[in-house]
Amino acid sequence: MTNDLNYPFDLRVGKKYFQKQMLIYAGLAALMVIAFLWQCYSYMYGDYYYPKVILVAPLAFIAFVVLTIKEVVSYKSKNPIASITQEGIQFYNKPCNACGLIQWSDVANIQEFAEGRKGRKFAIYVNDLNVYINLINSNSKRKALVKFCKNQGGALAMLSTTMFDVNPADLKKFINDSIAAAKQDNKSINQIIK
């Protein structure tokens, strides 16, 4: 399967992830409607009811509808979450989009974590985090990225494979091969310069 991954490779939201998210949000929205109607019925017929449910359920319903719309727009737009090229990886989601292209030669380590039952999450660590942070002109974007990096244990970016229709083992091998090739190219260049 790794042979199917070629440069440039865009990571987009997968159909299975989209369907799972839609099922969760639709189920929660329906649950809020049921809770609201049940409490209205209890109120009208004199049974004991929970007034907080009558207030919170419509707000929660609206929140789940907004989340559903965001997921549909994200899936239908087919915009990539990240792009992998021979030079590096670029993220298009916040806050990692602000740091631009992460060069493979700058990547110090990739750590893999379990995410759910089948998913994997890759933490991308770079040699010098401050280089990427200082590239950001906007103070608010810089602060958001610094906060993100602190929360992720110093990783510049996190790549969650549960969102994509790609085998996590193949993606990890593809990324590690890209890093090894970039570091080999740097060694060759350094030997030529000397």
Contact call for residues 15 and 71 (beta carbons, < 8 A): no
* pLDDT the model gives residue 88: 82
* pLDDT the model gives residue 193: 54
Of 121, 101, 112, the C-alpha closest to 164 is: 121
Residue spans of beta strands (DSSP E) within the chain: 9-11, 82-84, 88-91, 101-103, 107-115, 119-126, 157-160
> What does the alpha-carbon distance between residue 54 and residue 48 come to, in Å, rounded to a whole number?
13
Phi, psi of 11 (to 5 degrees): -100, 115
* pLDDT the model gives residue 3: 44
Low-confidence ranges of the chain (pLDDT < 70): 1-7, 9, 95-98, 185-194
* pLDDT the model gives residue 97: 67
* pLDDT the model gives residue 105: 82
Contact call for residues 39 and 54 (beta carbons, < 8 A): yes
**Hey, how many other C-beta atoms are within 10 angstroms of the C-beta on 137?**
8
Each residue's pLDDT tens digit, 148-162: 888 878 888 777 777
